[in-house]
Amino acid sequence: MANTIPDITLNDGTTIPQLGFGVFQIEPKDTVAAVTTALEVGYRHIDTAQMYGNEAEVGEAVRVSGLDRSAVYVTSKLSNAFHAPDDARKAFDSTLAALKMDYIDLFLIHWPLPTLYDGDYASTWKVLEEIQRDGRARSIGVSNFQVSHLERLAAETSVVPAVNQIEAHPYFTNDEVRAYGREHNILTEAWSPIAQGKVLNDPTVVDIAQQLDRSPAQVVLRWHVQRGDIIFPKSTTPKRVEENTRIFDFSLDDAAMERITELNKGEAGRQGPNPDTFAYLPN
């Protein structure tokens, strides 16, 4: 690989690679090959979830890679169907069983679901605290939590999330949630970092990419990196998988960073559901 992916230190003292490989919407039958390619070109951070249905294939790819388990950072997330405390405990056991691993590096609550389970995501979080205490999850965090959700955890629980994985990209910079994270030492992980590809044809992004002789995707991913975000772009095209690693050997100047940030459309730029109202339960 042309350059080294840096590690970032979490608030619990562990470290996480700033660039990872996401497997959202990769079919289980394609996941082993996709993750194998990612590991071959230098990724050491894989992001999966119970609701993706491909944890077992991620685990298989890590095992056949020849890499030590400790060399690959693995994240998964609690399914929306298992927020009740006893269900959450059993669900975490199923994640370890599917991965065929003794521990996971990072485990997240996937969605807060404030309109379900009587809005009691705090008790779900306390289960994750238990899992971290017994060492089966090295770090714990949340995903799609708004400021109000994070404030409730701060008031009712004892462990600050290590990360908050949220939608963030040039069309939806999600600055309020990111600012809360910075203030409370919660790192931001940005899902949909290129807005499902929608920003790649933006004239501003294309112009900056042409000036730097880089791809639009590389420019947007570099923008995230310089903002301090952890990112995990998804692709099943080997060329693009490798291309996405080559974002640490160039930088954007302040003017380019500002031009991209100014593409923010606020709530109108959100591509996914609003966490305040999202209430999906898988079958």
209-245 per-position pLDDT tens digit? 999 999 999 999 999 999 999 999 988 899 999 999 9
Asked if residue 279 belongs to a domain, the reply is: no
Domain assignment of residue 273, yes or no? no
Predicted local confidence at residue 4, as pLDDT: 87
Please indicate, yes or no, if residue 214 is contained in any of the structural domains: no
Q: Which of 52, 73, 121, 171 is catalytic?
A: 52
Stretch 262-270: mean pLDDT, rounded? 98
Mean pLDDT of 45-52: 98
Residue type, 73: Y
Binning pLDDT at 50, 70 and 90, where does residue 2 land? very low
Q: Name the burial class of residue 70, with classes exposed (0-12), middle (13-18) and buried (19+) by CB atoms within 10 angstroms of its CB.
A: exposed
> What angle is formed at CA 271 by the lines to CA 179 and CA 194, rounded to 5 degrees?
75
Mean pLDDT of 34-60: 97
Question: Does residue 218 fall inside a structural domain?
Answer: no
Q: Is residue 114 part of a domain?
A: yes
Instruction: Say whether pLDDT at 1 is over 60.
Output: no
Is residue 169 within 8 Å of residue 146, measured between CB atoms?
A: no
Q: Is residue 182 part of a domain?
A: yes
Domain count, the chain: 1
Range 28-37 average pLDDT: 96
The pLDDT score that the predictor gives to residue 235 is 84
Q: What is the CATH number of the domain that holds 229?
A: 3.20.20.100
The range of the structural domain enclosing residue 231 comes to: 7-195+223-246
Neighbouring CB atoms inside 10 A of 194's CB total 23
pLDDT tens digits, residue range 68-122?
Answer: 999 999 999 999 999 999 999 999 999 999 999 999 999 999 999 999 999 999 9
Residues 149-207 pLDDT 10s? 999 999 999 999 999 999 999 999 999 999 999 999 999 999 999 999 999 999 999 99
Q: What gap in Å lies between CA 257 and CA 226, rounded to an integer?
A: 8
Is 52 marked active-site?
yes
211 domain-assigned = no
Residue 2 forms part of a structural domain: no
pLDDT for the residue 281: 97
- Spatial separation of the C-alpha atoms in residues 75 and 105, rounded to whole Å: 6
Calculate mean pLDDT across residues 130-145: 98
Indicate whether 3 pLDDT > 70: no
